[in-house]
Amino acid sequence: MTGMVKRVVVVGGGTAGWMAAALIAKVLGRRVSVDLVESEQIGIIGVGEATIPPIQTVNAVLGIAEADFLRETKATVKLAIRFENWGAAGQSYYHTFGAAGRNLAFCSFHHFWTRVRSLGIAVDYWDCDLNYLAACAGKFAPTTGNDPIWDMPYAYHFDSALYGQFLRRHCEANGVRRTEGRIADVTRCALTGDIGAVVLEDGRTIAGDLFIDCSGSRGLLIQQALRTGYEDWDHWLPCDRAMAVPSERFATTALYTRSIAQCAGWQWRIPLQHRNGNGLVYSSRHLSDDRAADVLLGNLDSPALDDPRVIAFRTGRARRQWHRNVVAVGLSSGFLEPLESTSIYLIQSAVVRLLHLFPHGPDMAALRDDYNRQSQCEYELIRDFIILHYHANRRDEPFWRDLAAMPVPDRLAQKIALFRASGALMPDQLDIFMESSRVQVLLGQSVEPRAWHPLADAPGEDELRHQFAQMAALKAQPLAHLPRHDDWLAATMGAARS
Ligand SMILES: Cc1cc2nc3c(=O)[nH]c(=O)nc-3n(C[C@H](O)[C@H](O)[C@H](O)COP(=O)(O)OP(=O)(O)OC[C@H]3O[C@@H](n4cnc5c(N)ncnc54)[C@H](O)[C@@H]3O)c2cc1C
């Protein structure tokens, strides 16, 4: 690919397509034209409802008001994921978006907690985390602007179909041209091999300089046209199917996603304003579809609103996520199961990366190589974080025993060993999951350090006990003034309407 990019063509109108089109049109404005092609006949995958806090940046960049977003997408607030039965059956822990306690410059809070534990003092790590306390109390309002000790980062659960329509309206108001139709073919430049245009079934063509492949797991351009190849990770992450079903909402809306480990996979529950989203992620080698349906439907706690539907997937990534003049975004770029709600974030991150490295000169190879290097690194870091959840289990079914015994990627093995030995963590530049996330999952699944940083030895035993009690009380202070989650949702959406 050479020269200036003037025409961007987005192939696909799922979450990836509309988010890519919205961000590119907003950031690059009139410097490029943005066309989006989608086929209603093919449709979208229609799952993907739990997010992580960077989604707030998408809304901010697009100028979307929170009240409009909540109302239009039937969204609720997410402060955490509650992992149930992952370490051992009957145990649960929260991976919150917050952070426990307060870190010192060279010594993080969990070192003090490790020492406290060694003294036999009963202190719950999460009692010093406001996200956890608010999630348990069912209370929420944004707390930003106060002391950082009371920061309460949050994300959303939303209806994925409504979210796509919401972004579509936003895009069309901002100059994105939408074409309805099924792509049957592409034209290629004989000299460079680049894609010149997509050709619809009825013969219409849409030409472009840069193509964003958001066609879902089929990878219409990146795989079917360019044959980029796929790297399979099922030896580390053996789940290959999901079964999804909506169910009636509960009277009170939880502030967290539930992830419940089951005999050969795990079940999600995502609370929305109008329903719950549910699904079972499982390994078809260990569980038949019929048995999966029994497990899923037997654990809904409210009536199902539809028949369950099966979605097959292949965990892994496209070998090159930017190849020739095609950038794969969304499910065409790869798949990681939704255990940590990372796919929509990966869409956002891919588009932001593309905007940073947007082609603008005669030789694009260096930009493309750097894009691919970063994408690979980001995917692998999330993959390893997901593997950690499976690997650090103490369950007793064959599926779980195999995962506990399997060799994990080297870097993950080093991270676990370092943490066990010293409580230290190995930061990686492109890792979306920072120290607090990793500590919560490690401690939550009983991977505990054998030692702590020397600075944690400074306070005497009584002083340490007192500091923990003080910290828990300090973190809990805002709870007295926070409204109930459902009341906050109603007030925020109602205020915007009036
Ligand atoms: C079981 C499951 C649960 C998930 N849960 C979460 C979650 O909680 N959080 C999260 O962040 N992510 C989650 N994800 C991932 C999330 O669903 C996807 O990242 C997101 O929906 C993006 O999908 P997409 O836009 O890439 O693909 P799709 O939604 O499949 O869209 C593909 C688009 O391409 C179009 N198309 C395809 N072929 C053609 C053609 N020939 N001509 C014209 N148009 C065409 C289709 O019409 C459609 O518009 C989950 C995924 C699965 C499988």
Distance 69 CA to ligand 1 centre (A): 20
Q: Which residues contact 247 (CB under 8 A, 6 or more apart)?
A: 275, 276, 278, 300, 301, 302, 303, 304, 305
Residues recognised as catalytic: 78
Gap from CA of 17 to ligand 1 centroid (Å): 9
Q: Point out the ligand 1 atom lying closest to the alpha carbon of residue 329.
A: 26
Please, what CATH class does the domain formed by 7-75+158-231+315-381 belong to?
A: alpha beta
Provide the pLDDT for residue 426: 86
Give the pairing of strands 205-207 and 195-200.
Answer: antiparallel
| CA dist., res. 154 & res. 427, Å (int) | 22
* pLDDT for position 142: 95
Q: Are the C-beta atoms of 193 and 47 separated by less than 8 Å?
A: no
Q: How far apart are CA 306 and CA 244, in angstroms?
A: 10
pLDDT score of 145: 67
Cα(41) to ligand 1 centroid in Å equals 14
pLDDT along the chain (498 residues), means of 10: 85 98 96 97 94 98 97 98 93 97 93 95 94 98 84 97 97 97 97 96 98 98 98 98 98 98 98 98 98 98 97 98 98 98 98 96 88 98 98 96 97 97 93 95 96 96 95 96 98 76
Contacts of 145 (CB under 8 A, 6+ apart): none
Collapse the DSSP code of 171 into the 3-class scheme (helix H, G, I; strand E, B; otherwise coil) and give the result: helix
The predicted structure's pLDDT at residue 363: 78
- Predicted local distance difference test score (pLDDT) of residue 3: 65
Ligand 1 pocket test target in 19, 37, 42, 45 with most atoms within 8 Å of CB = 45
CA 347/CA 331 separation, integer angstroms? 9
Could you report how far apart the first and last alpha carbons of the chain are, in Å?
Answer: 51
Site to substitute for ligand 1 among 10, 42, 245, most atoms within 8 A of C-beta = 42
